[in-house]
Homo-oligomer: A and B are copies of this chain.
């Protein structure tokens, strides 16, 4: 029998954790001891091709995501890549709307993270094989539940219009890269001295946009914001991030107290599910010139749709692993463009920078055609574990040149950090 298609014959998933909590990297008001981790997926075709995917987690519970990926694998193994991408919308819905498994989501939590890991691997495999035109991309999006905000025709129209000037933007990106901001200087667990040192280094490296974690203690926040504003001067950009620490009223009061340090945005002021709460906060802070940013824990396109409809955010923070892979991120990028809200992706963690750079470059080149008020988060951690780590030059993401979705990790890193049997974890036990 002739094999005309690439059939996926195997899916493996591993629980890979980095003991970042030992040094308070990534600490914030709600996640005080994160061990940056991934559920790491490899799919293999009968022709020996591989696709790599992952979703990001912060330690305990990664085994639950692994369990969910294993449950989804039955829907993937045995399918050909051609079969999947010829009706990617249908395949997306197969994973997210399985008549039994959707009960434990739907399209949220562990099951959505697992979907992202699996689909990221499929996109990685697909990315290595061919180009995608606007119509093809639209066919990947599940418009269910969002047609009251964006129809398929409107989406296609956006992509077709953005063909103008595309090559120019590609050339610009290849030359300059996409603007980034850094979160590496001011994690909540860092001392003032370390913060100062990291800030000085970052300024020397050309960084102009800085994010500070806040929300645990107002006095501390005032001191830290004052310190960093002093370090970076009045013309560089400061953002603050509370990681969901506050109630609605509390958020307004607290951020008002920090207004004198001129933050561009307050990120995750309250529950990531509270659309109306974010709308109230946005309204209250608008006169102070402070926007609201959220999205890293916004679990699907339906939530983003409402955040946009309710003017509840001024910066859309997509996440490559929280949403259902490229498919769902495309829906959000297009909605954000329609609602004229800039997208500033969430990154950091493990692999999030590697993945999301593709999405934000796509946003600039093929959707928004604008850099106004736009930048992509960067955290300088754990890139050394990737086959094609991000390249940052003068505080800009330089476009990745290797084929695929940049998810592939070094096999040695995976083995050393596998939980609980890897060498790193054995030593810690």
Contact = CB atoms under 8 A, between A and B. Distances in A.
Given A106-B272, A297-B106, A98 B145 contact: no
Contact of A108 (B58, B97, B109, B270): B109
B310 A276 contact: yes
Nearest to A273: B302
A133 interface: no
Given A275-B306, A310-B276, A110 B99 contact: no
A384 to B, nearest CB: 23
A82 B71 CA distance: 38
Number of copies: 2
Nearest to A34: B100
A299 B109 CA distance: 10
Contacts of A59: 100
Nearest to A74: B60
A360 to B, nearest CB: 22
Nearest to A300: B273
A227 interface: no
A104 B111 CA distance: 9
A276 to B, nearest CB: 5
Given A30-B99, A35-B100, A271 B71 contact: no
Given A148-B280, A249-B148, A306-B276, A32 B99 contact: yes
A270 B99 CA distance: 16
Sorting the interface of chain A by its residue count into under 10, 10 to 19, 20 to 34 or 35 or more gives 35 or more
A296 to B, nearest CB: 10
A370 to B, nearest CB: 26
A21 B235 CA distance: 64
A144 interface: yes
B64 A68 contact: yes
Interface string A48-62: 000000000111111
Q: Which 4 A-B pairs have the closest CB atoms?
A: A109-B109, A59-B100, A110-B110, A60-B100
29 contacts: A30-B97, A30-B99, A31-B100, A31-B103, A33-B100, A57-B103, A58-B100, A60-B100, A61-B71, A61-B101, A61-B103, A68-B110, A104-B109, A104-B113, A106-B272, A109-B109, A109-B299, A144-B271, A145-B248, A145-B270, A145-B277, A146-B247, A147-B247, A147-B250, A271-B302, A273-B299, A273-B306, A274-B306, A276-B309
